[in-house]
């Protein structure tokens, strides 16, 4: 099967996934106590006012009617109007999406830059002191809550040493790299700990493989062995892990975006939940679902490139 | 809103007058805990919106410094007819909106008609006494259905601020809501006549105010206010980050400083830690219904038990652990000290464990009775309050358990009565006690803040006070209501807290009023 065919089939399979996501999120938000009318009108509004708002928002319609509206509008690309922001959900998301995607990609790149070289150093020095030091440091990183790491970095690097800004996210690409460095590194420290551990053991496993020993025996230079044979094969499981941790990275933005005052989708999600902004919660969840699905698809495609034994089907 | 500007004047002049010349220019960078979403006088319904209305718009009248009377605002003169049913105002000559277009009586009529339209504004009820509004040139006449003792205060309140009719006529959109949103999104200078106009807005991230060069009020140097060129707001929801941002010099001011950090910032020589007096009260409604929502008998229906809980609560200790001392016990059961007509009943239920125990045994409460305190999840203050109350009430035989919910859930529970006791707070929006008293005690509208408490005498007094034109007689009615309420104890009366704002040393003249309004009219920043 050609990879185009495969991609098409995978995209088709996403349809039922998204349908399920929509059903679940539609029901979940409505199961929460409190509704948008109460959140919107405030505690001081009279019952009659709240009822009027419910009617205006269409919340008095039967559930199935509401769901049908949600479904049919979404298919037509209309995610509804945000109760909280008083604008179209699609516009709000279009505003915030680039920031969160930038933050996530930046975190992934930083995680790889941190984890990759250190995993090699640790694996090649297995059991010796560099290995122990690296593993201990990452173990500490893994056991600290993300928001705490964020605050520590902010206090020392931003407030005291003034190396980085405390808040904001910049306009140009360069400014963004600078402004979002601390939030990205905060997320990256956690992710790189997981990647480092996985990559280290994968490298060790591959180093012991017979084909590597054979390559060594053949007298190939070790740079070639490490680059062509070891890294490529060790990366297979790491790519899977990275793909799977994209969900974690995205949910991590809920915390980092709040701590670092980055106006992205994670912080928006929190605000939307507190305000019971059904259309916005639904729109954001769907967007997250699309992003995660696309990353999974890309992971699979990349894996098949790394390992020809994995067929796309 | 009225109180703020005058207070702003007083504070700014006391701080800034000794300087040789008034510092002008510069942009003040201000870190906020939450962003505005729509600053329109009639739609502003969240504090981050309400508190900014006065920077962009003007009201016909302004509150006096002591908050007990009103002074001319956009209206240069005002008078109330002898029967109390007609208010006549004359607009100041030559007032311009920020884009330079002129304001007329027509704009005032348009604004008041919008503000009192119940289909548009959640605040329309405050203007329920108005029958009609008309204008002839700069003369504005308000006819009332009945005499209304609050009408002048209402004309100094944010929701009656004057907007430009022309701006609304020209704005795209089918409904007033759409037009309002379009005007806000376009960051138009032509909509208000306040000291600033909105000149930049990024949803959830930042907001910019630019000085209105046509503003009519004069500064200490004889030139028009404001002194600043503009104000730049950054939204930083996390408390610690907001403070760090100030310490790093990225912003000049940070609001809503947690009380646990106040002492540390007070000690910082580069920071001017301000605790502005407020009308904020923190209290906990108690469910007074005979049965709980699940049908079981409610031990808190007995007023003696509620009083026992109040006596058994050490307010000073609570203020110590939650506010680190930056607060005071409530002295009126219905309102903050700074509110007009507040009775000083202090010490209100001063800590007395013997009295509390006696009341509990008189009520025949079973030892080990379980009572649930509903708190806000994630609120450090609420967690501390629960821990403290659990210990304080244990000797009374009450086993306090906690239920943590978010704000919307708490609101829903308050409405349905599915709670025993829950934490709550209030800040006045209006400089008149009727709003808070209506909220906390009057049954027909708010079910006495969801407690289910009902007292016919209280309700009658409240309705009479709404029509009483004699200030002394009105004050007496509010005093009686406060006595009745204190005796019935439908709340756990807790404490008042100030607004904690940390300013950089370059900032002078910024004020947050007791109603919460952020006033930049006379603020300066020296670079």
Residue in B closest to A160 by C-alpha:
B248
Confidence of residue B21 (pLDDT cuts 50, 70, 90): low
Closest CB to A167: pick one of B203, B245, B439. B245
Closest-approach residue (CA) in chain A for B233:
A168
* Cβ pair A35:B234 closer than 8 A: no
Nearest to B236 among A49, A261, A271 (CB): A261
Query: Cis ω on the peptide bond leading into residue B347 (within 30° of 0)?
Result: yes
Which chain A residues contact residue B439 at CB under 8 A? 44
Report whether B266 contacts B409 (CB < 8 A). no
For position B200, what pLDDT does the model report? 95
> Residue B248 is nearest to which of A151, A158, A263, comparing CB atoms?
A158
Separation in Å, CA of A71 to nearest CA in chain B: 25
Q: Could you give the ipTM of this predicted complex?
A: 0.83
Mutation for testing the A interface, residue in B234, B238, B374 having most A CBs under 10 Å: B238
CB atoms A263 and B237 under 8 Å = no
Residues of A in contact with B434 (CB under 8 A): none
Residue B75 pLDDT exceeds 90? yes
Judged against a pLDDT cut of 60, whether residue B295 lies above it is answered with yes
pLDDT at B11: 43
Determine the pLDDT at residue B9: 42
Average pLDDT, chain A: 87
Coil, strand or helix: which one is B342? Answer: coil
* pLDDT of B1: 38
Average pLDDT over residues A164-168: 84
Residue closest to B524 by CA, chosen among B187, B22, B17: B22
Residue A306 or residue B316, greater confidence:
B316
pLDDT of residue A187: 87
In this structure, are strands B328-329 and B491-496 parallel, antiparallel, or unpaired? antiparallel
- Residue A312: the pLDDT is 62
Residue B6 reports pLDDT greater than 80 = no
Looking at residue B288, its pLDDT comes to 97
The pLDDT > 70 percentage for chain A reads 98
Q: Contact A166/B37, CB-based, under 8 Å?
A: no
Nearest to B203 among A33, A45, A95 (CB): A95
Do B240 and A151 count as a contact with CB atoms less than 8 A apart?
A: yes
Q: Which of B77, B64, B57 is nearest to B9 (CA)?
A: B64
Confidence category of residue A311, pLDDT binned at 50, 70, 90: low
Count other Cβ atoms within 10 Å, centred on residue B495: 21
Cα-flanking dihedrals φ and ψ of residue A277, to 5°?
-80, 85
> What proportion of chain B, given as a percentage, has pLDDT over 90?
85
Least confident of A15-19, A85-89, B33-37: A85-89
Q: What is this structure's pTM?
A: 0.89
Contact A155 B244 (CB under 8 A): yes
Q: Residue A261 and residue B408: Cβ atoms within 8 Å?
A: no
Predicted pLDDT of residue A167: 78
Inter-chain residue contact A166 with B235, CB threshold 8 Å: no
Q: How many CB atoms lie within 10 A of CB A81?
A: 17
The chain A residue lying nearest B440, using CA atoms, is: A44
Nearest to B32 by CA among B233, B208, B197: B233
pLDDT in tens, B26-62: 999 999 999 998 999 999 988 999 999 999 999 999 9
Residues A167, B415: C-beta atoms closer than 8 Å: no
Q: Name chain A contacts of B411, Cβ cutoff 8 Å.
A: 34, 38-39, 42-43
Q: Which residues contact A127 (CB under 8 A, 6 or more apart)?
A: none
What is the arithmetic mean of pLDDT over B378-384? 90
Task: Examine the pLDDT at B501 and tell me if it is beyond 80.
Answer: yes
A48 → chain B, closest CA residue:
B445
Top residue of A31, A32, A35, A43 to mutate, by most chain B CBs within 10 Å, is: A43
Count of CB pairs separated by less than 8 Å, A with B: 112
| Mean local confidence (pLDDT), A30-53 | 80
Q: How far apart are CA B191 and CA A274, in angstroms?
A: 31
- Which of A34, A41, A159 lies closest to B122 in CB terms? A41
* Partner-chain contact B236 A151, CB within 8 Å: no
């Amino acid at each position: 099967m050609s990879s185009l065919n495969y991609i098409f089939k995978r995209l088709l399979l996403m349809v039922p996934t998204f349908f399920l996501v929509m059903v679940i999120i539609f029901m979940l938000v409505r199961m929460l106590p409190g509704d948008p009318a109460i959140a919107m009108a405030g505690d001081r509004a009279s019952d009659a006012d709240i009822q009027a708002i419910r009617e205006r928002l269409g919340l008095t319609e039967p559930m199935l009617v509401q769901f049908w509206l949600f479904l049919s509008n979404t298919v037509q690309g209309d995610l509804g109007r945000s109760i909280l922001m008083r604008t179209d959900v699609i516009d709000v998301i279009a505003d915030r999406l680039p920031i969160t995607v930038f933050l996530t990609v930046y975190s992934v790149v930083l995680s790889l830059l941190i984890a990759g070289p250190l995993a090699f150093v640790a694996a090649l020095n297995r059991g010796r002191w560099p290995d122990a030091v690296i593993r201990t440091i990452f173990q500490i990183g893994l056991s600290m809550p993300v928001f705490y790491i964020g605050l520590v970095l902010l206090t020392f690097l931003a407030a005291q040493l003034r190396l980085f800004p405390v808040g904001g996210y910049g306009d140009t690409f360069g400014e963004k790299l600078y402004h979002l460095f601390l939030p990205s590194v905060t997320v990256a420290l956690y992710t790189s700990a997981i990647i480092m551990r996985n990559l280290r053991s994968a490298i060790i496993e591959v180093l012991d493989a017979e084909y590597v020993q054979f390559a060594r025996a053949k007298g190939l230079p070790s740079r070639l062995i490490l680059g062509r044979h070891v890294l490529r094969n060790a990366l297979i499981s790491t790519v899977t892990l990275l793909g799977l941790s994209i969900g974690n990275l995205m949910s991590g933005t809920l915390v980092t975006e709040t701590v670092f005052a980055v106006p992205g989708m994670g912080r928006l999600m929190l605000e939307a939940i507190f305000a019971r902004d059904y259309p916005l919660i639904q729109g954001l969840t769907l967007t997250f679902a699309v992003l995660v699905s696309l990353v999974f698809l890309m992971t699979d495609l990349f894996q098949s490139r790394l390992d020809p034994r994995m067929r796309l089907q | 809103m009225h109180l703020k500007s005058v207070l702003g004047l007083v504070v700014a002049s006391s701080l800034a007058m000794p300087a040789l010349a008034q510092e002008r220019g510069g942009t003040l960078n201000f870190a906020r805990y939450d962003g505005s979403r729509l600053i329109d006088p009639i739609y502003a319904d969240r504090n981050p919106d309400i508190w900014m209305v006065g920077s962009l718009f003007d009201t016909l009248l302004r509150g006096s410094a002591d908050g007990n009377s009103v002074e001319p605002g956009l209206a240069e003169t005002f008078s109330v007819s002898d029967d109390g049913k007609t208010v006549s105002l004359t607009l100041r000559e030559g007032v311009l909106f920020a884009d330079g277009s002129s304001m007329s009586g027509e704009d005032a009529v348009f604004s008041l008609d919008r503000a009192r339209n119940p289909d548009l504004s959640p605040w329309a009820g405050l203007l329920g006494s108005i029958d009609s509004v008309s204008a002839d040139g700069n003369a504005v006449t308000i006819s009332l259905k009945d005499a209304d003792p609050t009408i002048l205060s209402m004309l100094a309140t944010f929701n009656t601020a004057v907007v430009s009719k022309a701006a609304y006529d020209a704005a795209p959109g089918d409904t007033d809501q759409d037009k309002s949103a379009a005007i806000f999104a376009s960051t138009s200078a032509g909509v208000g006549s306040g000291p600033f106009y909105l000149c930049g807005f990024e949803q959830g991230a930042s907001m910019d105010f630019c000085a209105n060069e046509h503003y009519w009020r004069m500064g200490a140097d004889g030139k028009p206010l404001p002194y600043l060129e503009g104000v730049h707001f950054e939204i930083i929801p996390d408390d610690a980050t907001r403070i760090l941002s100030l310490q790093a010099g990225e912003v000049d001011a940070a609001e809503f400083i947690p009380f646990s950090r106040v002492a540390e910032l007070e000690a910082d020589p580069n920071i001017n830690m301000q605790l502005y007096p407020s009308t904020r009260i923190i209290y906990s409604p108690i469910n007074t219904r005979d049965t709980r929502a699940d049908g079981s008998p409610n031990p808190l229906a007995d007023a003696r038990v509620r009083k026992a809980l109040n006596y058994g609560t050490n307010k000073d200790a609570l203020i110590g652990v939650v506010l680190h001392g930056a607060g005071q016990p409530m002295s009126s059961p219905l309102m903050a000290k700074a509110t007009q007509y507040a009775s000083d009943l202090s010490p209100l239920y001063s800590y007395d464990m013997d009295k509390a125990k006696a009341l509990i045994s008189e009520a025949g409460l079973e030892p080990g009775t379980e009572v649930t305190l509903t708190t806000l999840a994630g609120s450090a203050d609420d967690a501390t309050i629960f821990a403290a109350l659990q210990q304080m009430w244990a000797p009374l035989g009450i086993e306090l358990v906690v239920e943590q919910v978010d704000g919307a859930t708490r609101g829903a529970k308050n409405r349905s009565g599915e709670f025993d006791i829950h934490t709550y707070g209030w800040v006045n929006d209006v400089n008149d006690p009727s709003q808070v008293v209506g909220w906390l005690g009057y049954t027909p509208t708010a079910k006495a803040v969801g407690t289910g408490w009902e007292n016919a005498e209280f309700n009658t007094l409240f309705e009479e006070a709404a029509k009483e034109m004699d200030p002394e007689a009105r004050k007496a009615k509010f005093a009686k209501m406060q006595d009745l309420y204190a005796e019935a104890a439908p709340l756990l009366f807790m404490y008042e807290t100030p607004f904690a704002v940390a300013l950089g040393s370059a900032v002078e003249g910024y004020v947050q009023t007791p109603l919460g309004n952020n006033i930049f009219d006379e603020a300066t920043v020296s670079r």
